[in-house]
Structure 1
Amino acid sequence: MSYTPFFRGAAATLIWLYSAALAQASQVVTQTERDWAKQAIQQEKALSTQGAASPSNSLAVLYFNNKSGQDKLSPLQKGLAVMLITDLAKVEQLRVVERVRMQALLDELELGSSGLVDAGTVPKVGRLLGAAKVTSGDILKGRDEKLEISSSVLDIPLDKIAGQTTAAGALADLFQLEKEILFHIIDSLQITLSPQKKTELEQPLSASTPALLALFLGIEYSDQGLYELAAKMYNQALTEDPYLEIAKDALQELKGMGLIRSEGEKMQEAEEAEPSEPAAESGGGISAGTVVGIGLGLAAVGAGVYYGVEAIEDEIEGVPPTIVNVDKPDIAGCTDEMTVTFSEPMKEAYAVISPSEITTQVTQSWTSSETLKVSWTVSSSLTITIDVSNLRDTDDNALELPGDANPISFDITCQSLLM
């Protein structure tokens, strides 16, 4: 069967119209996208052999590859793509492939669990998505625990790299790193921005890394069909940054599609449930500036990789350490010891011990970077106070203390010496 130029052009246009809707339109992969992905793969041979061309200004942003050796950074694979797609979709000269179309295609190609496309498969995926240009990159571990993000732009028709760049910095500066990558992509595509558009694109999706991480996890949950968990993460993202519009839109989408229960339905369900122990009050949200309290994890289906919110939070600079355990004797003796365990690796400074006259009889040591041990040998009964408020973690964040945690005070009873 022969294919006329008209047919070839119409087929390419059809693929493009299906795959290049505005990127921020949706975060839920629907049956429509899944049907499109199947059709695109079925038509692949015909289109490739007949040379159907994609629009020259069409661009697909693939997920980034985590090569840092740290599984806890894996949510950035999809998250960086989300940030770039959202920004690039605002550039009028470009037609950016919608993320859910790409996700549906990756699922159909059985790459959905990892979301990763190797270098040899990039051109094929780009053609299936109807994109003339494809950008992706790697997440690397740089010097001094910094994050490095490399990115490149592949021109598919010319089969050559149109541009490459690397951005490096702390995870807390994620929004700034994304902007470096963004403007380099735009330069690589030889696009000139107006001053107004450049100013618009310089505005961060969010300056809150915890908000962005919660958003990324919400999108990952949504892709796996775990919509209630996705909604919790979107709500958490909005707790961290109430102005994060993409999280608002994603949450509203779940509600509008009836994929999550309304508050009324949840209340009715609770009323109809059998009596049980009262649930702990949730309060108004999670502690400011942190997603640790959510207690949710993300198991990537088929990948065997666990993305714990707590593990990700360990990488965020600015999160204060806390005391997680104090192990002191119920009845302290003349010669005894206690330990204080912290949530983060700490600088090896020491607590302030009082009364001061016993300091020569007290020793302090770090049994690990998170655990301080205090030992003593005293000659009389007394009250000892251990003040740890001066301690800081290795990122120089001051210890965060609840009202009853500092100072740590208890009585030492020297019975053997009082007899």
Structure 2
Amino acid sequence: MTLYAVNFFLDATIEYKKIHGTRINKYEEEDITMKNLKFFAATAVFAAFLLILGCAGIQKAREEQETATPDQIPKTLAILPFENNSVTDPEHFAPLSKGLSAMLISDLNKSGTTLKLIERSKIQSLLKEIALSQSGSVDESTAIRAGKILGAQAIAFGSFIVLGKKVRIDTRIIKVETSEVLMTESIVGDSDGFINLERELAKKIANSLKVAFQPKTATSGSDINAALYFSRGLDALDRGDKKEAKRLFMKSIEIDPAYKEQVDNVKGLSR
């Protein structure tokens, strides 16, 4: 609590009494001041106590993760499409749901990690079977179920929000066998740097699973439309329209050449 806030509440208490016709002498004013100071001191101590507890919990989780033996760390990961919670034009940004997960799979596969990634096509086929490909909504129990069917030791899922020129990506990784939460991350940044946000998330995923990761060089930033064209290309490919998929992928590369590597890694697209 800042000194400004303390003074604000002290003045408000005294002013309230004056407005309601209560006369306040010097001793009463000093008494009000002392009581308020004691109240804020107690509040500050309690807040500090909660902060210490929170930090201790985070530290404990980190220590448990650091002491995990190699055989306890998942070697196979499935990344599900992200849920679209965008405030700004949700329908417009809906394709990013599968686009973001596809980009993460590609980057983690091509970055020299020892992690085995479940192919996007297998994930899409499963989601169609359990009727989630359209809604994109995945809760923890469904994610674990999907992970077991796919043969993954860990499952990554989450959501994204586009609000104006800002993007937030929330991600969780859960160990399929035990339901243990291995990672919880939130990344916020400018929509024009979407590919850099995705690469930052890929690095965090690799770190949480203790695998080597060679991060790609950050780009100077590009319009989020590059990611959208890439994502729409995936939609077209999933519909069996390869011609439209190629057109959309080329538009993506025209906006940002960094997406060429993503397009090159798309399976099922004849060159």
Q: Post-superposition shift, 1:120?
A: 2.3
Letter in 2 for 1:246: Q
Q: Tell me, yes or no, if the aligned pair for 2:154 and 2:174 is still in contact at 8 Å.
A: yes
Cross-structure match for 1:235: 250
Cα distance in 2, alignment partners of residues 215 and 184 from structure 1: 23
Q: CA deviation at 1:248?
A: 4.4
Which residue number corresponds to residue 128 of structure 1?
A: 149
CA shift digits 1:117-175 (9 cap, x unpaired):
33320110001111011111111256x75211111111111212111111111111101
Q: Which residue of 2 aligns with 1:245?
A: 261
1:94 partnered with 2:109: no
2:237 maps to 1:222 = yes
1:185-242 deviation digits (Å, cap 9, x = unpaired): 1222133x3xxx53xx233599533332211110111112222221211222233245
Within the alignment, does 1:160 sit opposite 2:180 as a pair? yes
Q: Secondary structure at the match of 1:229?
A: helix
1:203 paired with 2:217, answer yes
**Contact 1:206/1:241 (8 A) holds in 2:** no
Change (3 A) 1:181 1:250: closer
- For 1:36, the equivalent position in structure 2 comes to none
Of residues 117, 125, 149, the one that matches 1:104 is: 125
1:148 aligned residue: 168
The Cα offsets for residues 362-387 of structure 1, whole Å up to 9 and x where unpaired, read as xxxxxxxxxxxxxxxxxxxxxxxxxx
How many residues are matched? 195
Q: Which structure 2 residue ranges, 5 or more long, are not aligned?
A: 1-72
Match of 1:263 in 2: none
1:59 lines up with 2:73 in the alignment: no
Segment of structure 1 superposing worse, 238-247 or 210-219:
238-247
Report if aligned partners of 2:165, 2:191 keep a CA contact under 8 Å in 1: no
* Sequence identity percentage: 28
Larger Rg: 1
Q: Deviations over 1:248-304 (max 9, x none)?
A: 4649x5345xxxxxxxxxxxxxxxxxxxxxxxxxxxxxxxxxxxxxxxxxxxxxxxx
Q: Is the 8 A contact 1:83 1:205 kept in 2?
A: no
Q: Distance in 1 between matches of 2:124 and 2:144?
A: 16
Separation in 2, partners of 1:249, 1:84: 11
Higher-helix-fraction structure? 2
Task: Structure 1: give runs of 5+ residues left out of the alignment.
Answer: 1-54, 257-419
Partner of 1:113: 134
| CA drift at 1:92 | 3.0
Distance (whole Å) between structure 1 residues aligned to residue 220 and residue 173 of structure 2: 25
- Code of the residue aligned with 1:202 in structure 2: it is K
4+ residue stretches of structure 1 with deviation over 4 A? 204-207, 248-251
